[in-house]
Amino acid sequence: MASATIPHMAARYPPNEEREVALCAAYEAAFGAVPSGVASAPGRVNLIGEHIDYSGYGVLPMALAHDVRVAYGLGQSDGGDAGEPRQGFVFSVANIDGDRYPPAELAHGGLDDAVLDKGAHSWANYVFAGYKGVLDAVAEGSRDEEPLGVALNVMIDGKVPPGSGLSSSSALVCASMLAAAAGFGCSTKYSPAEFASMAAGAERYTGVEGGGMDQAISMMARAGSALYIEFDPVRGTPVALPPDAVFVVAHSQVAANKYYSQYNLRVVETRLAARILAAHHAVAEPDACRTLAAAAAAAGLDLAGAEQAVDDALVKDKLYSIAEVAAMLDLSAAEVVAGYAANGALAGVPADEPRLALHARATHVYSEARRVAHFRAVCASGADDALAELGRIMDASHASCAQLFDCSCAELDALVASSRAAGALGARLTGAGWGGCTVSLVAHSQLDSFLEHLAQSHYGMSADEAAAANVLFASAPGSGACVIEF
């Protein structure tokens, strides 16, 4: 049964766990007060279903043990009493790794002037985004004349490798959101699914037009199973993985920052493909088809039918220009950009430049959604050859990501090849790609030899050294976000 709220645990202060001791000491040093609690949220590894959440299709991630922790406490109000609301709210943000992530503040007088600068990448924006997501939710239930905000201090300690496709960004947004919600006194008011949806919307304030997978698994995970996550509305179904399967994460050692990647461009390509499919099938409300899932549903197509429809409506291997798409949709080029290219994804692209690989992107999405269904069916089957079949599905996913979605890179492809040579039954990139990590499926009996072989062949070190360097580790389905209150 899904839990009604994010788990809250009471704990004595000072804590005795090593990481929490250091985090709380850093908080005390920075803010001269004792924190009220610590919110934590995990990163994840996605097993199958890449780049399809923002097209409305279900995905299958599991939470990692690696998490982001946020110590929080109310700041000083103007009157000097902790927690007293005031007209000018200050949200003070600091990081245990202050050299890399310097302190920052979001000062505002209400909802309207709590604005993030999407035009620049800043680590603190992910923290501000979590706070602003709570502010938005609180604003819905408040009266206009109420000053809205809370004076809050937070200290961050993140252990999810950043820019690695393991969702450090969403772990940071989710943990920050829960810390802010605790500050606002509403951290038990929303369900994990509601928080997941709030956090997915909030992370878009950073300028990345993401789906909802990462926030959903971080808020909703339960130890012991992967989660099949569906959208609109967000919901999760636990999936038991075969007992002899181990999923191993390996790092390509290429950093992949989503803010600077082609991520938003992919979102636009899938949206445009959806709109063209809807027009091709003369559906009743084509403008309502913002995702490939919506377009297939409106046209009454199952996934195999949708893949066929892509062949009928779009030209294989063709790169479309904005002007060509505009002509197909009976719009101007400016209307295409204004209506479909969120967060400046087409900024600076000349209207007649052939840039949009619509057939390939849509074919990936529909075929990947089929692979997710196949993967779940194999997990449920208990068949003798289940692991071999899951491995084949993962291999096919990687090929589709690399060839059709163009989100791999030479280093990821090489790591996938090394992983197979080391004994993986299947391997693929995980997360957005263009660097970051792979996930490999390994039979439990082969785990030690796989880790040793891959560590030596790919990283030139022992398995223990690779684990210590956080570049190669076996993962088990971890638990979701929680709040510890002192």
- 108-127 footprint of ligand NG1 as x/- string (CB under 6 A): --------------------
Q: CA 163 to CA 437: how far, in whole Å?
A: 9
Residue 324 interacts, among ligand NG1, ligand ADP, Mg ion, none and using kind-specific CB cut-offs from 5 to 8 Å, with none
The number of beta carbons lying within 10 Å of the beta carbon of residue 207 is 22
Instruction: Give me the catalytic one of 214, 330, 352, 384.
Output: 214
Residue 285 CB, shortest distance to ligand ADP, in Å, is: 33
Residue 426 interacts, among ligand ADP, ligand NG1, Mg ion, none and using kind-specific CB cut-offs from 5 to 8 Å, with none
Mapping DSSP to helix (H, G, I), strand (E, B) and coil, where does residue 166 land? coil
- Which of 153/215 has CB closer to Mg ion? 215
245-264 residues in contact with ligand ADP (CB under 6 A) are 257-259
Residue 242 CB, shortest distance to ligand NG1, in Å, is: 23
The number of beta carbons lying within 10 Å of the beta carbon of residue 180 is 30
- 121-160 footprint of ligand ADP as x/- string (CB under 6 A): --x--x-----------------------------x-x--
φ, ψ dihedrals at 230, nearest 5° = -115, 165
φ, ψ dihedrals at 83, nearest 5° = 85, -10
> Tokens 């990163």 belong to which residue?
43
DSSP string spanning 448-470?
HHHHHHHIIIIISS-HHHHHHTT
Could you say whether residue 208 binds ligand NG1 (CB under 6 A)? yes
Handedness of CA 340, 346, 352, 354 (dihedral sign): negative
Handedness of CA 452, 456, 462, 465 (dihedral sign): negative
Tell me the H-state helices in 204-332: 213-220, 263-280, 292-298, 303-313, 322-329
Sequence-distant (≥ 6) Cβ neighbours of residue 361 within 8 angstroms: 266, 269, 270, 273, 404, 405
Could you say whether residue 47 binds ligand NG1 (CB under 6 A)? no
Q: Which residue of this chain has its Cβ atom nearest to ligand ADP in the complex?
A: 158
- Which of 123/375 has CB closer to ligand ADP? 123
The number of beta carbons lying within 10 Å of the beta carbon of residue 2 is 12
Could you say whether residue 45 binds ligand NG1 (CB under 6 A)? no
- Segment lying near ligand NG1 (by CB under 6 A), choices 51-59, 78-86, 294-302, 371-379: 51-59
Q: CA 485 to CA 215: how far, in whole Å?
A: 22
Q: State yes or no: is 214 an active-site residue.
A: yes
Q: Which residue of this chain has its Cβ atom nearest to Mg ion in the complex?
A: 169
Residue 92 interacts, among Mg ion, ligand ADP, ligand NG1, none and using kind-specific CB cut-offs from 5 to 8 Å, with none
Sequence-distant (≥ 6) Cβ neighbours of residue 168 within 8 angstroms: 43, 68, 158, 160, 161, 162
Tokens of 4: 């009604």
Residue 158 interacts, among ligand ADP, Mg ion, ligand NG1, none and using kind-specific CB cut-offs from 5 to 8 Å, with ligand ADP
Q: What is the largest CA-CA distance in the chain?
A: 69
Query: Using CB atoms within 10 A of its CB, is residue 122 exposed (0-12), middle (13-18) or buried (19+)?
Result: middle
Could you say whether residue 162 binds ligand ADP (CB under 6 A)? yes
Residue 53 interacts, among Mg ion, ligand ADP, ligand NG1, none and using kind-specific CB cut-offs from 5 to 8 Å, with ligand NG1
Report the amino acid identity of residue 432: A
Residue 112 CB, shortest distance to ligand ADP, in Å, is: 25
394-453 residues in contact with ligand ADP (CB under 6 A) are 431, 436
> Tokens 């636990």 belong to which residue?
238
Distance from chain centroid for Cα 112: 26
Residue 450 interacts, among Mg ion, ligand ADP, ligand NG1, none and using kind-specific CB cut-offs from 5 to 8 Å, with none
- Which of 37/162 has CB closer to ligand NG1? 162
Q: Which residues bind ligand ADP (CB under 6 A)?
A: 68, 95, 101, 123, 126, 156, 158, 162-169, 172, 257-259, 431, 436
Q: Which residues bind ligand NG1 (CB under 6 A)?
A: 46, 50-51, 53-54, 165, 167, 169-170, 203, 208, 210-211, 213-214, 258, 431-432
**Residues with catalytic roles:** 214
Q: Which residues bind Mg ion (CB under 5 A)?
A: 169, 258
